[in-house]
Amino acid sequence: MKRLMMWLTRAVTAFDPPLMALLIIMALLGLTIMHSAVGGTDWRFADQSRNFLIALAVMWIAAMVPPPAMMRIAPYFYALGVVLLLGVEFFGETSKGATRWLDLGLVRIQPSEMLKIAVPMMLAWYFHRNQGRLRVMDFIVAILLLAVPFALIVMQPDLGTALLVFATGFFVIYFGGLSFKLLAPIVIAIVVGIGTLVYYEKDICQPEVDWVVLHEYQKYRVCTLLDPSTDPLGKGFHTIQSMIAVGSGGIYGKGYMKGTQTHLDFIPERTTDFIFAVYAEEFGLYGGIMMLVLYLLLIARGLAIAARAYTQFGRLLAGAMAMMFFAYVFVNVGMVTGILPVVGVPLPFMSYGGTALITLGIASGLLMSIGHYRPVRH
């Protein structure tokens, strides 16, 4: 009876009130935007409503798992994810030129999604285990733990998911104690690389030039970002139309369900990757700022939970989950507004799709678990 009462108490108190309030607001806002994007309550709106309920259940389950249990399963969860990625490489199903799915008979899964959680869990476990005695070799091992799934996901190819996995893992390594002095050369190399890319854009974007490290379609995405007008009806169409929609919203927006770019079908993928263009056209600059403020509050709450965590594992994992939200928003909004290439990253709690919502639900649940965890003192 005592254990049952403890379980019931934990079940009731599992949710973090400030975080839960933000998530409810964002879910309602997401369904509102979806209603406008699809022009009513068709099957996509109904599916998204169901996806939110599933994400809520998954979040609650994750919130019930205490951090010590997370630590115990972290290495096995990571190993399973890598094995499944290898399975995709050899036995995966190909769709639209990418091999990302694995058919296990009873269920068809996309293993790369689970690595968004498994990689930061593994790295948080690794740094927790080695805290107080970190050496350069420990950071090299951590980078290898991140590089293996990142490389396997890039090979599928799925650059958007690979970037998110890399971002969440990198944040754990950075929060784990990586010196900014070691990052400075990397930052300089990135800046020089981008500058070179922009300067020689006309030469290196020629069809006969092979970029070696990127697939042909990825090369054209970068080149289209640099100059969308080179192929306005082809590869540059997504970027041009989304930028027109965002700009046409002006300060106040055109009004709910009154977006012409949206409802005249000029915005491609308007329910998924480009849903921010739908929102910006209808609610304008003020609406866009409001949405970004909600995301900032969500990230700030996650970082506050990380700062108060009782263990190194909890601090690193919560920090990575909070910054994962940042990575999602930064890449998606940058993609829609034309400052980043189109890489297929959804907008958290807004874009249509069950897989991404489940991942975000698990991340939110982990934050709640870490937030209300109190170690038993003997």
Here the tokens at position 365 are: 């649940």
pLDDT of residue 345: 85
pLDDT greater than 70 at residue 326: yes
- With beta carbons less than 8 A apart as the criterion, state whether 15 and 368 touch: yes
Here the tokens at position 125 are: 């476990």
Q: How confident is the model at residue 266 (pLDDT cuts 50, 70, 90)?
A: confident
pLDDT greater than 60 at residue 196: yes
Q: How confident is the model at residue 220 (pLDDT cuts 50, 70, 90)?
A: low
pLDDT greater than 90 at residue 77: yes
pLDDT greater than 70 at residue 324: yes
pLDDT greater than 60 at residue 35: yes
Q: Is pLDDT larger for residue 254 or for residue 377?
A: 254
Q: Among 6-15, 192-201, 334-343, which range has the highest average pLDDT?
A: 334-343
pLDDT greater than 70 at residue 214: no
Q: Is pLDDT larger for residue 60 or for residue 265?
A: 60
Span 365-370, average pLDDT: 93
pLDDT greater than 90 at residue 178: no
> Distance between CA atoms of 7 and 361, rounded to whole angstroms?
21
pLDDT greater than 60 at residue 7: no
Tens digit of each residue's pLDDT (9 = 90 or more) over 44-60: 888 888 989 999 999 99
pLDDT of residue 10: 62
pLDDT greater than 60 at residue 378: no
> Distance between CA atoms of 41 and 5, rounded to whole angstroms?
41
> Distance between CA atoms of 64 and 55, rounded to whole angstroms?
14
pLDDT of residue 197: 67
pLDDT of residue 339: 81
Strand order in the sheet with 108-109: 93-95, 98-103, 108-109
CA distances to 52, 74, 142 from 138, rounded to whole Å, are 39, 18, 6
Span 207-234, average pLDDT: 65
pLDDT of residue 328: 92
Span 252-261, average pLDDT: 83
Helix axes 312-336, 111-129, angle to 10 degrees: 140
pLDDT of residue 238: 72
Span 253-269, average pLDDT: 79
Largest Cα–Cα distance in the chain?
74
Which residues, listed in sequence order, are joined to residue 109 by a DSSP beta bridge? Answer: 102
Tens digit of each residue's pLDDT (9 = 90 or more) over 109-122: 788 888 999 999 99
Q: Is the peptide bond before 341 cis (omega within 30 degrees of 0)?
A: no
Instruction: Provide φ and ψ at 270, rounded to 5°.
Output: -70, -15
- With beta carbons less than 8 A apart as the criterion, state whether 248 and 254 touch: yes
Cα(first)–Cα(last) distance of the chain, in Å? 22
Q: Of the given ranges (98-102, 282-286, 320-324), which has the lowest mean pLDDT? A: 98-102
Which residues, other chains included, contact 346 with Cβ-Cβ below 8 Å and sequence gap of 6+? 272, 273, 328, 332, 353, 356
> Distance between CA atoms of 68 and 197, rounded to whole angstroms?
46
Q: How confident is the model at residue 268 (pLDDT cuts 50, 70, 90)?
A: confident
Percent of the chain surpassing pLDDT 70: 83
pLDDT greater than 70 at residue 11: no
Which residues, listed in sequence order, are joined to residue 99 by a DSSP beta bridge? Answer: 94
Q: Is pLDDT larger for residue 29 or for residue 41?
A: 29
Which residues, listed in sequence order, are joined to residue 95 by a DSSP beta bridge? Answer: 98
Can you tell me which residue has the tokens 């709910």?
Answer: 256
pLDDT greater than 70 at residue 25: yes
Percent of the chain surpassing pLDDT 90: 31
